Amino acid sequence: MSKLDDELDIDADSETLEVESPLGIEGDGSISLTPSPKKKNKQGKSGESATSLPPVMALLPVRDVVAFPNTLTPLNISREKSKRVLDLALAESRIIALVAQRQPDTEDPTLDDLYRIGTACRLLKLYKLEDGTQSVIVHGIARIGIEELTREKDHLEARVHAHFDPVKQDKVIEALTHSVRHAAHQVIEMSDEVPEDARIVLDSVGTPGGLADFVAANLSLSLVHKQELLETLDVAERLRKVHATIVGQVEVLELAKKLHTEVRSKIDQTQRDYYLREQLKAIQSELGHSDARGDTLSKLEAKIVEAKLPEEAETETRRELDRLANIPQASPEFSVAQDYIEWMASLPWAVSTPREDNIKKAEKILNHDHYGLEHVKTRILEYLAVRQLKPDSKGPILCFAGPPGVGKTSLGKSIARALGRKFIRMSLGGVHDEADIRGHRRTYIGSMPGRVIQEIRKVGSNNPLFMLDEVDKIGQDFRGDPASALLEVLDPAQNDTFLDRYLDVPFDLSGVFFIATANYLDPIPYALLDRMEIIELSGYTLREKLNIAKRHLIPRQIEEHGLLPKQLKFDDKAIERIIASYTREAGVRNLDRQIAAVCRARAAAIVRKQRRSSRVTVRSLTRDLGPIEYEPQTADQTAVPGVVTGLAYTPSGGEILFIEATKMPGGGNLNLTGQLGGVMRESTQAAFSIVRSQAERFGIDPEIVLAHDYHIHVPAGAIPKDGPSAGVAMLTALVSLLTDRTVDPATGMTGEITLRGRVLAIGGVKEKVLAAHRAGLRMIILPEKNRRDLPDIPDEVRKDIDFVFARTIDQVLKAALSD
């Protein structure tokens, strides 16, 4: 291996040397020196021997370089004294003594400034460069010891003696040689800088000392370290030192290699990721999606800002937005998170309509929209007045109770209009699941807030009038208790922090004006009922219906059918006929529908026949509405023993029902049919027991009672019936049957009985009486205790009906049974 590793400056101002090949020494514009004819790597014996070396030779002091025997060393020469040494050497034997200076910066060294061991070298090639410096290549011949300087003027000259390595070898040297060679091979293998040829040169080095020198020359070591190796004359020792150094070098190289691979693999991973990401971007932009995601995120962000969320809600929403940024768009989780943010941002957290608590206006609107309902309107206005006086009062919730079609919803709408609030109506009929009200946790795709929050979003205001329809129809089953969830919604004490499971942050419902409606109060859970102020609306009388139709329903339907008031006129008699023969209801919903049907028919006729106007009369009704739908219920009833007209109170208002009893030979058993509920069955049992136990009092032979089986049936068997108020009618039917005395079908009765024969008060009197009136009854037997309800009954009804108030069953039977 050529001595390229040590590119040396002999002078500070020297230039780099060029050496083309280790041994074939040719060059352009150079003075070619004939190489030494002798073999270079044979020292001691056949190399330059001690005798062939002149005892006195020109001495070339060098800085920062140590030349080893048997190696090539390039040098730059710039000092005049040194140039003179070269000239001299060229002129004579071409052999010089190369000795390192102890201090590189000593300009004119004396013996003391030099190491005492150097190398005798042969000049191989010399270049004279343009700037006056000279480059030489020397070949080391042997170690020399400097004895003394024989000349110091002009140039240095010294007396020297040579040190050749002994030829004899031992096992230790052999082993060391092997180790050094092995380590050197490792270095060559691991180092990128050492050319592969070095292996050949290394193998061609024959002697152990030569090997040590070769390796030492090629290691990057400090001057001092190299000089120490040069001065180590003992071969074994030199090999040991070289070995230690080269093994250190192997370790360094190994470490370097390891670091390199680590760095490399790290870079590889980063590059791979980068590459894939770039590819993904390219694919997305090819598909036109490049900015879709960023777009979505920034739009959501804008929505959040716009929604003016309260702090807690905003924190939660922003957390979700941050999460969204890290979820792949194709993942289902992305849409879950996105939906949530959309929901949050679209709720009217800060949107409300201005409060207009103006009682006068409210009164005007209520009166304008509704006929009658005086006490209802009064109570509503009282309620509003309190709210106006104390806006933050946490008063009870209003609940309108009454049969369908009596104006509960339309009252709610009027109140909303009067207060300038938006209106929401939500039916609770068939709500069994708590989650309907409170929502589902947003763990699954498609989960949503509960209906309360959904409606609030739909209406876009946080202080609407919220009508909860049919609270009595709310169910309860294994899916939780919606009533208790509803309580949270309604309860003013806790609805300012209503927690929908989906939103997971409280929404303030305290600005909402809740009104509940119910057909029937019985099924409403007590806790809910307790928080509500009940306003009862009952069915209308014929006259009320007539007025409602004339003032509200007809004008509205005429308008809705694109007609003018003067184009269509309804006779009062015709309206009454519609009410009596085409509808049977407590409210006016069907009446409204029938009026609409008439308007439809007449609108068609007016268009077809180009009539200017049209009049609805009793006679024309069959043309508009077909044959009459309802006969008076009692009209076809003839008095038969065992048949009695009872009065019932149902969710759709009052009703009359016929109780039929019959007997057959048997053993005193009672059979009941007609979908009777438990309470009704029990009251029938009680009636039967009274008959059996007190038969003689009623003029019945107890033997006959026991000789028969009895069957009581209540027609319209498909409709479930329940309640204790049929007791009186059941008893009357049995006594009528057994005494063979009839009861006038136009006589209705209602009342609970005790086994001791007392008649107890019942509810729903007004609805029952109105129904009886509709059905054309002329006499009604009521419990004495219900006399207090009489004032509720409109005069027009009261004057058509005879009321009998009974304290005991004897009084009932006396009034009911014919002679």
**Interface residues toward ligand ADP, by CB under 6 A:** 370-373, 404-410, 548, 552, 587-589, 592
Alpha helices in 103-234 (DSSP H): 171-190, 198-204, 208-218, 223-231
Q: Quote the least distance from Cβ 601 to ligand ADP, whole Å.
A: 20
User: Which residue's CB is nearer to ligand ADP, number 464 or number 653?
Assistant: 653
Catalytic residue among 81, 226, 422, 768: 768
Q: Quote the least distance from Cβ 376 to ligand ADP, whole Å.
A: 9
Q: Quote the least distance from Cβ 393 to ligand ADP, whole Å.
A: 26
* Radius of gyration from C-alpha coordinates of the chain: 60
Is residue 159 exposed (0-12), middle (13-18) or buried (19+ Cβ within 10 Å)? middle
Q: Quote the least distance from Cβ 588 to ligand ADP, whole Å.
A: 5
Tell me which DSSP letter residue 353 carries.
P
User: Which residue's CB is nearer to ligand ADP, number 162 or number 535?
Assistant: 535
Is residue 37 exposed (0-12), middle (13-18) or buried (19+ Cβ within 10 Å)? exposed
User: Which residue's CB is nearer to ligand ADP, number 406 or number 817?
Assistant: 406
- For residue 687, CA distances in Å to 204, 684, 706, 733, 757 come to 134, 5, 15, 10, 9
User: Which residue's CB is nearer to ligand ADP, number 370 or number 773?
Assistant: 370
Catalytic residue among 2, 538, 725, 736: 725
- Residue 204 falls in the annotated catalytic set: no
Residue of 180, 169, 281 lying closest to 235 (CA atoms): 169
Contact yes or no for 691/698 (Cβ under 8 A): yes
Rounded to a whole number, what is the largest CA-CA distance in the chain?
175
- Residue 614 falls in the annotated catalytic set: no
Helix, strand, coil shares of the chain as percentages rounded to 5? 45, 20, 35
Spatial separation of the C-alpha atoms in residues 221 and 217, rounded to whole Å: 9
Alpha helices in 655-701 (DSSP H): 678-693
- For residue 421, CA distances in Å to 407, 461, 514 come to 19, 9, 12
User: Which residue's CB is nearer to ligand ADP, number 467 or number 813?
Assistant: 467
Alpha helices in 429-566 (DSSP H): 434-438, 451-459, 482-490, 526-530, 542-548, 554-560
User: Which residue's CB is nearer to ligand ADP, number 371 or number 502?
Assistant: 371
What single letter denotes the amino acid at residue 426? M
User: Which residue's CB is nearer to ligand ADP, number 106 or number 409?
Assistant: 409
Residue of 528, 261, 280 lying closest to 399 (CA atoms): 528
819 C-beta neighbours (distance < 10 Å), count: 4
Contact yes or no for 751/782 (Cβ under 8 A): yes
Q: Could you tell me the two tokens for 289?
A: 């999606």
Q: Quote the least distance from Cβ 532 to ligand ADP, whole Å.
A: 16
Spatial separation of the C-alpha atoms in residues 723 and 399, rounded to whole Å: 23
What values do phi and psi take at 633, rounded to 5? -65, -30
User: Residue 513 pairs with which residues in a beta bridge?
Assistant: 465
Is residue 192 exposed (0-12), middle (13-18) or buried (19+ Cβ within 10 Å)? exposed
The residue number with the shortest CB distance to ligand ADP is 407
What values do phi and psi take at 441, rounded to 5? -60, 150
Q: Quote the least distance from Cβ 559 to ligand ADP, whole Å.
A: 13
Q: Quote the least distance from Cβ 619 to ligand ADP, whole Å.
A: 27
User: Which residue's CB is nearer to ligand ADP, number 414 or number 633?
Assistant: 414
Q: Quote the least distance from Cβ 566 to ligand ADP, whole Å.
A: 22
User: Which residue's CB is nearer to ligand ADP, number 409 or number 620?
Assistant: 409
User: Which residue's CB is nearer to ligand ADP, number 405 or number 757?
Assistant: 405
- For residue 808, CA distances in Å to 433, 653, 693 come to 46, 27, 16
Q: Quote the least distance from Cβ 653 to ligand ADP, whole Å.
A: 11
Spatial separation of the C-alpha atoms in residues 210 and 166, rounded to whole Å: 11
User: Which residue's CB is nearer to ligand ADP, number 10 or number 586?
Assistant: 586
**What DSSP letter does each residue of 590-621 carry, written as one string?**
HHHHHHHHHHHHHHHHHHHHT-S-EEE-TTTH
Spatial separation of the C-alpha atoms in residues 368 and 306, rounded to whole Å: 40
Q: Quote the least distance from Cβ 749 to ligand ADP, whole Å.
A: 28
Spatial separation of the C-alpha atoms in residues 784 and 806, rounded to whole Å: 5
Residue of 765, 734, 755 lying closest to 653 (CA atoms): 765
Q: Quote the least distance from Cβ 786 to ligand ADP, whole Å.
A: 25
Spatial separation of the C-alpha atoms in residues 402 and 649, rounded to whole Å: 11
* Active site amino acids: 725, 768
